[in-house]
Amino acid sequence: MRTPVIAGNWKMNLLRDDAVALARDVASALDGSTGVEVVVCPVFTVLSSVAEAFAGGSVEVGGQNCYGVESGAFTGEISPQMLRDAGCAWTIIGHSERRQIFNESDALLNKKLHFALASGLKVMFCIGETLEERESGAMNDVLRRQVIEGLKGLDDTDFTRVVLAYEPVWAIGTGVTATPEQAEEAHAFTRELVAEAFGGTVAADLRIQYGGSVKPDNAAELLAKENVDGALVGGAALQADSFAAIVKAAR
């Protein structure tokens, strides 16, 4: 049995007061939720305040990105140690917005993944194809490359702290969700890739979240699919009631 993970990716939104208010609302809306892990990923500047707002509860806090070095002359970057210092247990790595807007390569993401794990963080590692890649029939090759290059060198112990997030780029922030069947097909294929490269036990235990326009009204049917083990939620995570409804759908 894989425990579902529902994560809210707040992206570059919310100043401190609004972020703390949302965290408090989420905490009270989720009061008593069991059987599902919940993570919230706010912007760096409010991490400590949001971590404080969730302190003593079961919701964990994560960064949206981090660099592959502990400290030094890397202007504008942040290290896993700094995320932990701010109260994070998790980080996202390889979100499509990082891959596309900031040109992060598979090799860089692999380096960041190894360093984040070695630094004690748990990681949600994102993969997913663009519309053009899907329509041209390149989807499976893209997922294969992202899985093989991105996860290269991980051992069985590392995998206990990794969650994959399948996020088709065409479904992110567009209101167009993958159908449950499309999601299941991509998740099953991804699990097969992991089995080939890292073994059946790792693949069977690995949680794969779906991300891309997850909303309260489509969450239950996506999460009901055999290989969908959670959700990475953007827009709908900015409202406590819709985020809580998605968490409930995962229970």
Contact between residue 250 and residue 231 where contact means Cβ atoms under 8 Å apart: yes
Per the annotation, the verdict on 167 as an active-site residue is yes
Name which position in 63, 68, 150, 212 contacts ligand PGA (CB under 6 A).
212
Name which position in 4, 42, 211, 230 contacts ligand PGA (CB under 6 A).
211
Supply angle C-alpha 123, 134, 214, rounded to 5.
50
Q: How far apart are the first and last CA of the chain?
A: 13
Contact between residue 225 and residue 202 where contact means Cβ atoms under 8 Å apart: no
Name which position in 68, 94, 128, 235 contacts ligand PGA (CB under 6 A).
235
- The whole-angstrom separation of Cα 126 and Cα 143 is 10
State the binding string over 138-177 for ligand PGA (x if CB under 6 A, else -).
Answer: -----------------------------x----xx----
Binding of residue 213 to ligand PGA (CB under 6 A): yes
Selecting among 129, 167, 184, 187, the annotated active-site residue is 167
Q: How many residues bind ligand PGA (CB under 6 A)?
A: 13
- The whole-angstrom separation of Cα 92 and Cα 88 is 11
Selecting among 37, 95, 97, 187, the annotated active-site residue is 95
Nearer to ligand PGA by C-beta: 6 or 30? 6
CB of 65 to ligand PGA, least distance (A): 12
- The whole-angstrom separation of Cα 121 and Cα 113 is 9
CB of 69 to ligand PGA, least distance (A): 25
Choices 132-140, 189-197, 228-236, 240-248; region in contact with ligand PGA by CB under 6 A? 228-236
Binding of residue 129 to ligand PGA (CB under 6 A): no
Residue 32 region, left (φ>0) first, then alpha (ψ -120 to 50), else beta?
left
Nearer to ligand PGA by C-beta: 47 or 214? 214
Nearer to ligand PGA by C-beta: 81 or 130? 130
CA distance readout (Å), 22 to 50, 94, 211, 240: 9, 25, 21, 6
- The whole-angstrom separation of Cα 168 and Cα 205 is 22
- Token pair for residue 166? 């399948």
Q: Which residues of this chain interact with ligand PGA, rule CB under 6 A? A: 9, 167, 172-173, 211-214, 232-236
Residues forming the active site: 95, 167
